[in-house]
Structure 1
Amino acid sequence: MSVRSSAKRWTYLLHRWLGIGGCLLMLLWFVSGMVMLFIGYPKLTPGERLAALPVLDAAQPLQGLSMLPEAVQTEPESVALTTLRGEPAYVVRSGANVGAWSAATGHALLPVSAQRAERSAAAFAGGPAFPGAVRVDEDRWTHSRGLDALRPLYQVEVGGRQPGSLYVSSRTGEVVLDAPYHQQRWNYVGAWLHWLYFLRMQSVDPVWTWVVIVLSGLCTLAALSGIVVGVWRWRFRGRYRSGAKTPYVEPWMRWHHLLGLMASAFVFTWIFSGLMSMNPLQVFTTSAGAVDAARYRGATVSLASTLAQPQALLHAAAGQRFAPVEIQWRRIGGELFAVLLDGHGDTRIVSLMDGQLHLQRQLPVAGLQQRAQAMSTAPLRTFAILHAPDAFFYPRAPEAMNGAAVRRFPVAVADFGDAHATRVYIDLATGDPLLTLGHRERVGRWLFYFLHSWDLPGMLRQENTRLAVLLLLSVVGTTLCTTAVVIGTRRLRTKVRRRRSTPAASAWTRPPAAGRSPRR
């Protein structure tokens, strides 16, 4: 047998048996993917969280930031005044540590009980919370690593306009995730099934990760080999004896071949981009951290100024008819300022100028550009203001996987001249770096997000057309995988029947033993 014939034979066998092994899995991926176009994995978006918070009362006596423990004041990643357990409280985050202190008394808030979690859930839902909150470390809806610092959680069942499960942090009493019942039901045939979460045991699960990578890789090979086999079997010149361009007469094989030729490119790119979503071997992660957040924040600052007094900030906001539900403090370049957020997600920046508090909608661009240089030791090549989405920074609908990410415009774009060509998108409304990209992350954007979701800004602007095309192609892919399931099932049945009949047949064809006559 020639090398070419041997290669063809192995390609046929590869597609046949990988297809039989993976056709049902690919069928489930297509069906669940169609569900995910409309129903996403449970998450709490910033808009949902802020909308559920009460307006902070400027008349209520509140202690300033200086009341926080000295160890907490030095290097916190974020400090916020919000409402916890029905009272104003400070939430301080630093790495994996999260703490809460009463803004009225200054006392540290102890871990919440089940009853307090139920009250927090009822206030969030605007309806009844049913007794019997369950303490969970992690379950099918709480695999996100962003919840790790807030665990363990309380799962509270609530009624009201949107019955479902709310998850409350036992450390702070915050509602950190909502999972309405209708979303849970659809997720069993949507994201939970699509991501094979029935195999995932914890937020960091190497076994689940590599199972998904290996299965996705094998299915990618099945799709790729199918493209090759389909082209080989198609008569571009002339026809087979049946008069058709395909050699297959049996309907299921015929439809599998024809649909495969039509949809193979989409099937391959979707399976392959699903593999890329797992970031195998961290190929889409920049190896060296090019951005230094600590340098960007700068040195610690005194908390004795008016900026650290929440009542002064609330009075200043009332003068401009702005009703904050949360105050967040930031430090950039060693300067303190406050960010006020209302229930609609609108923001105001409060800074201290000439001893007076000044409110503005955005940070001054010139000052931010100067401070952005501290993010990297590499030179700042360009600094621009982006007023509309580009190919890397764009908002998504809440049901999308990254639908909870803040994507606000205008946004500052800083490009550095380091080896990774690092780009940072900086929120003008808060000063926060929202997205950091190097060479590898850019490649991952195209090989995963684009190929899997067709999420170019121009396509997202035509959302109904985009969804209709994705649904149509998903239906074609589903039909292709259905034909593969039928063909694979038939072949396995044939194999089983042959094996069962082989012992009986061999008994009649076996040579006679010595001294015995063969049967007649």
Structure 2
Amino acid sequence: MKRYLYLWHRWLGIVACLFMALWFISGVVMLYVGYPKLTPAERLAHLPVLALEKGSVDLEQVLHAADPEQAPTSIRLTTVAGAPRYILEYPGLRKVAIEADSGLQALPTDQVEALAAARQFAPGVAVRDRGAVQGDMWSQSRALDADRPLYRVAIADAERRLLYVSGSTGEVVRDATATERGWNWIGAWLHWLYPLRGIGIDGAWGPIVTYLSLAATLMAVLGLAVGLLRWRFTRTYRSGSHSPYQGVARWHHVGGLLFGVLLITWIFSGLMSMNPWKLFSSAQPLSVAAYQGGPLNAAAFPLGADEALRRFAEDGLRVRELEWRMIGGKGYVIGYDSAGRTRILSMADGRVLLQFNPGTLQQAAWAIRPERPMIVQQLAAYDFYYYAREPHSMMGHLEQRLPVLRVRFDDPARTWLHLDLHTGAVVSQLDQPRRASRWLFGLLHSWDWLPLLANRPLWDLWMILFSAGGLLISGTGMVLGWRRLGRSLKWGRR
């Protein structure tokens, strides 16, 4: 039995250790430089103050021009290439852009408009067209699918950004600085094995990463078992050491015993990030459609965009973008300034609010499952299931404001909703599978644990030490494995 443990560990390690070494190196890079993204805060900071011409179209005209048969899931009014434009989103990853001045659908983005969008993003800076693509190494995210094709524009700002402009709306939807592009060659692009995408095997990318992670996890478990079997705890070998190995092999043996458990948890949690075999997918996801209380329609918004801008300005908010929301069957317009600060305009009484009354959101949430009890809690501080990360991290772009309302439902999956009191948005939906993912991925892989996150030098030291230990094991294992493979090939030629 021992012989088979050694053989499985050895031959799995010949392949897996190479990828594990790459994962640890790239993982350290990702601690400080994430995959390129345009966060909501960055997007708002680069928008001009929203201004409308007299005679701009009303919401009813906008909805009719976009799709007279279907209600949108989202409505925003922003500035695109120097002009106000409504952006409507529909089910099935479909976006429609309507010109606020004419009420006509915007034409598909072309090179001229892409350059104009880039000049709005970075006024006074030279811009250069880099062509249109369906996707490239910095735009692999599925979140961009509704915006493809993407127009790339290089801008000569201090960060030497590469901007990606939506082919459907004309908005800048991603920026990639020179620093991000440079470090990501050995960062997220390598960590997520993105070289396997875009070469005709995109459909196999997920299974390849999943089964490679599974093989690496098995190899690490076997390695820890072998290491314990070979270590003499009460006596020594003839060399005087508790390990029978010398040189690189001893480093591998001792490193495995010191860091083996952490290595297993990291590789296993990386496997969990792929949601293998849909372990964390909900069998009965809770529908939150009733939270809106009705579709987005013009009748719920008697006050127009120009009036909303006037009232927000009177309240001291220099609006960059407007968003229309239905909550509990009532209409609200949310105004955002360049720093992401918000105000709420209630259509019921025309008042401008700093945040929602918790009772308003609670009543709207109750409509989701009115026949069942629910528990409501207002959070004034972060906890294990609701917390913020650095913007460059994988989920750091998601805004996690405080205070927030947590609503717990008595449905089969024991679903929790987090409701943003500043915008009324459903920030997150956590059921039992997703809470399990929080433990098996978020905690074990990124060590998203508040006592560590709140003390960044401690978190950094922990993650770097952990990574160095994993690199020691995988690096020495790679050397040993390839030495063994070389000997086997040499004997095979005789």
* TM tier relative to shorter chain: over 0.9
> Structure 2 residue aligned with 1:466, among 459, 467, 476?
459
* RMSD after superposition: 1.8
Q: What residue number does 1:23 align with?
A: 17
For residue 127 of structure 1, report the CA deviation from its aligned partner.
4.7
Task: Please give the alpha-carbon distance, in whole angstroms, between the structure 1 residues aligned to 2:200 and 2:388.
Answer: 25
Partner of 2:32: 38
What is the deviation of 1:274? 0.5
Task: Give CA deviations for 1:246-267 in whole Å, capped at 9, x if unaligned.
Answer: 111x211111111110010111
TM, length-normalised to structure 2:
0.96
Q: Residue deviations 1:263-314, cap 9 Å, x none?
A: 1011111111111100001101111121x23222122466257654111111
- Do 2:328 and 2:363's aligned partners in 1 also have CA atoms closer than 8 Å? no
Match of 2:310? 315
Q: How does 1:368-383 map to 2 (within 5 A)?
A: 368-376=361-369, 379-383=372-376
1:78 to 63, 69, 74: 74
CA contact (8 A) 1:85 1:173 kept: yes
Comparing 162-171 with 297-306, greater Cα deviation is found at 297-306
Q: Distance in 1 between matches of 2:158 and 2:31?
A: 24
- Output the amino acid matched with 2:38: L
In 2: Cα distance, 1:151 partner to 1:192 partner: 20
Q: In 2, Cα distance between the equivalents of 1:110 and 1:273? A: 45
C-alpha deviation, 1:146, in angstroms: 1.2
In the alignment, which of 428, 451, 460 is matched to residue 435 of structure 1? Answer: 428
State the alpha-carbon separation in 2 of the partners of residues 167 and 497 from structure 1. 51
Q: Answer yes or no: is the 8 Å Cα contact 2:331–2:348 preserved in 1.
A: no
The 3-state SS of whatever aligns with 1:255 is helix
Answering whether residue 223 of structure 2 is matched by residue 229 of structure 1, we say no
Is the 8 Å Cα contact of residues 223 and 264 (structure 1) preserved in structure 2? yes
Q: For 2:166 and 2:193, how far apart are their aligned partners in 1? A: 26
Aligned letter for 1:145? R
1:510 aligned partner: none
How far apart, CA to CA, are the structure 1 residues paired with 2:5 and 2:371? 49
2:320 maps to a residue whose letter is V
Which AA in structure 2 matches 1:87?
A: A
Runs of 4+ aligned structure 1 residues displaced above 6 Å come to none
- Are positions 1:209 and 2:201 aligned together? no
Query: What is the Cα deviation at residue 200 of structure 1?
Result: 1.7
SS of alignment partner, residue 424 of structure 2: coil
CA contact (8 A) 1:340 1:349 kept: yes
Q: CA deviation at 1:202?
A: 9.0
State how far apart, in whole Å, the 2-side matches of 1:378 and 1:22 are: 52
Confirm or deny: 8 A CA contact 1:145 1:203 kept in the other structure.
no
The aligned counterpart of 1:102 is 99
Q: Is the 8 A contact 2:300 2:331 kept in 1?
A: no
In 2, Cα distance between equivalents of 1:81 and 1:119: 18
Query: 5+ unaligned residues in a row in structure 1: which ranges?
Result: 1-6, 503-520
Q: Distance in 1 between matches of 2:13 and 2:275?
A: 24
Match of 2:385 among 382, 392, 407: 392
Distance 2:200 2:165 in 1: 17
Residue 380 of structure 1 deviates from its aligned partner by: 3.6
In the comparison of the two structures, how many residue pairs are matched?
A: 491
Task: After TM superposition, give the deviation of residue 205 of structure 1 in Å.
Answer: 3.7
Distance (Å, rounded) in 2 between the aligned partners of 1:118 and 1:281: 43
Amino acid at match of 1:116: E
Q: Distance in 1 between matches of 2:18 and 2:199?
A: 25
Q: How do 1:397-408 and structure 2 match up within 5 A? A: 397-408=390-401
* Displacement of 1:139: 1.4
Q: Could you tell me whether the CA contact under 8 Å between 1:115 and 1:133 is conserved in 2? A: no
Distance, in Å, in 2 between the alignment partners of 1:284 and 1:255 is: 37
SS at match of 1:413: strand
| Residue 348, structure 1, aligned to residue 339, structure 2 | no
Q: Give the match's secondary structure for 1:375.
A: coil
Match of 2:4 among 3, 10, 20: 10
136, 139, 142: which is aligned to 1:139?
136
Shift of 1:64: 2.1
The structure that has the greater radius of gyration is 1
| 1:244-255 pair list within 5 angstroms | 244-248=241-245, 250-255=246-251
Out of 324, 327, 340, which is 1:329 matched to?
324
Residue 475 of structure 1 deviates from its aligned partner by: 1.3
- Write the distance in 2 (CA, Å) between the matches of 1:267 and 1:402: 23
Deviations 1:11-66 (A, max 9, x none): 11111111112111111110000000000001110000000001113675533212
Q: Is the CA contact 1:217–1:272 (under 8 Å) kept in the aligned structure 2?
A: yes
Distance 2:371 2:155 in 1: 51
Shift of 1:353: 4.2
Cα distance per residue 1:390-428 (max 9 Å; x no partner): 111111101110011121111110100011111111111
Between the aligned partners of 2:217 and 2:309, the Cα distance in structure 1 is 56
**Shift in Å, 1:376:** 3.4
2:46 to 31, 49, 52: 52
Q: Which residue identity lines up with residue 314 of structure 1 in the other structure?
A: L
User: What does 1:407-446 align with in structure 2 at a 5 Å threshold?
Assistant: 407-446=400-439
TM-score where L is the length of structure 1: 0.91
5+ long unaligned stretches in structure 2: none
1:337 Cα deviation after fit: 0.8
